[in-house]
């Protein structure tokens, strides 16, 4: 009976060690608002480390803004790609089947060439785009805005 107990205990300790490592790697601390603003000013935009407030404080209100319920492809590295940034009927290269949904907030800064997407106030997607690509995107937002009701505008930055 003494030989049976050490094996399960060893397994349990190994499992706890693995869980501890995963938790320590997965728990990134969020920079302070000032640190986030400095990152934004230098156009260093790490995902899950920048809030929409920091971007607005650093760059001002976005010239173009869109808020909508959106689906996101969850990539193997746990990054998110908005469904709207993938061609219709396609999936991102390397995608393995994870999907997340929520209120996506899109900021377009044409003068800087950035499209930023926030989910739960955190930057989850960023894409450097050419002015023409941003113009096409923001024109689509303007067209869609014609059909929204006043209720849809309650969460503007």
Q: What is the pLDDT of residues 33-55, one digit of tens each?
A: 999 999 999 999 999 999 999 99
In a domain, 8, yes or no: no
Mean pLDDT of 85-97: 89
Q: What is the pLDDT of residue 40?
A: 97
Judged against a pLDDT cut of 60, whether residue 29 lies above it is answered with yes
Answer for the pair 105, 67: CB distance below 8 angstroms, yes or no. yes
Note down the domain range covering 82: 32-153
Judged against a pLDDT cut of 90, whether residue 154 lies above it is answered with no
In a domain, 39, yes or no: yes
Judged against a pLDDT cut of 50, whether residue 11 lies above it is answered with no
In a domain, 15, yes or no: no
Q: How many helices (H) and strands (E) does the chain have?
A: 4, 5
Answer for the pair 157, 105: CB distance below 8 angstroms, yes or no. yes
Name the domain count of the chain.
1
In a domain, 9, yes or no: no
Which residue in 117, 113, 106, 118 sits closest to 134, CA to CA?
A: 113
In a domain, 88, yes or no: yes
| 112, burial (CB in 10 Å: exposed 0-12, middle 13-18, buried 19+) | middle
């Amino acid at each position: 009976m003494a030989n049976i107990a050490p094996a399960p205990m060893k397994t349990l300790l190994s499992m706890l060690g693995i869980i501890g490592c995963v938790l320590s790697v997965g728990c990134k601390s969020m920079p302070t608002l000032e640190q986030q603003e400095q990152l934004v000013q230098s156009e260093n935009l790490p995902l899950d480390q920048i809030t929409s407030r920091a971007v607005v404080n650093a760059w001002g209100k976005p010239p173009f803004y869109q808020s909508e319920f959106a689906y996101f492809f969850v990539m193997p590295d746990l990054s998110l790609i908005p469904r709207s940034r993938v061609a219709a009927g396609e999936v991102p290269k390397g995608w393995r089947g994870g999907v997340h949904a929520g209120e996506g907030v899109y900021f377009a800064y044409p003068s800087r060439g950035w499209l930023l997407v926030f989910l739960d106030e955190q930057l989850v997607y960023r894409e450097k785009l050419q002015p023409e690509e941003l113009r096409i995107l923001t024109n689509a937002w303007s067209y869609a805005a014609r059909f929204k009701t006043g209720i849809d505008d309650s969460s503007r930055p």
